[in-house]
Amino acid sequence: MAENIQPIISFSQQLGSLLVSKGVLSLDQLEVALKEQKMQGSPFEECLLTLGLISEGALAEALSSTSGYDKINLKQALLDPALKTIVPREIAEQFCLIPLSLEGGILRVAMADIFNLNALDYFRHQLPSLQDIIPLIALESDIIETIDYFYGYDFSIRGLLREVERTTLHSVSRDGYLNPTVRLVNAILIDAIKLSL
């Protein structure tokens, strides 16, 4: 008796197929991204962004459709200041996430990479009383902005250098005082003025 055996399709292939079917990527672009992923050993989503084949927003929509996780717009989210003690800034920066709520033992977290098992394991080990962790998909650039807003801006040169290193190509175009590069230059100038006095 012959069984119907379906080939195992990787998440990258599922995501790629969805993007092609929606007209976001061509088959050639998908092939290039898959080859880049294999060569670099980077996550498929990161390759799509690095190659400039897709916007953060389109990627978040596709991830939500493919993974079944909800997407959140952090610019409209209400954040609970009490969560700063549960999720320190260093952890938020390390895993590129923002804690949204903790109710009934369920932690909701906005993440750029919902498949980051290290982040999920961190919470399971650090907060053993948690019953569940619900990741929500958010744009990386929005998370970086929200970390500054939620935890306060880091004005130390070392902190600003870390932030500049984290800044991705698609978030460099931000202008104004929120841009970490502008804040770094300002901090250097202020330090130089203080030293000359």
Q: Where are the domains of the chain?
A: 11-67, 74-142, 153-196
Helix, strand, coil share of the chain (percent; to 5): 55, 10, 35
Can you tell me whether residue 55 is helix, strand or coil? coil
- The pLDDT assigned to 146 comes to 92
Write out residues in the chain with pLDDT < 50, as ranges: 1, 169-175, 177
- The pLDDT assigned to 65 comes to 87
The CATH number that domain 74-142 falls under is 3.30.300.160
Tell me the whole-structure pTM to 2 decimals.
Answer: 0.68
Pairing of strands 106-111, 132-137: parallel
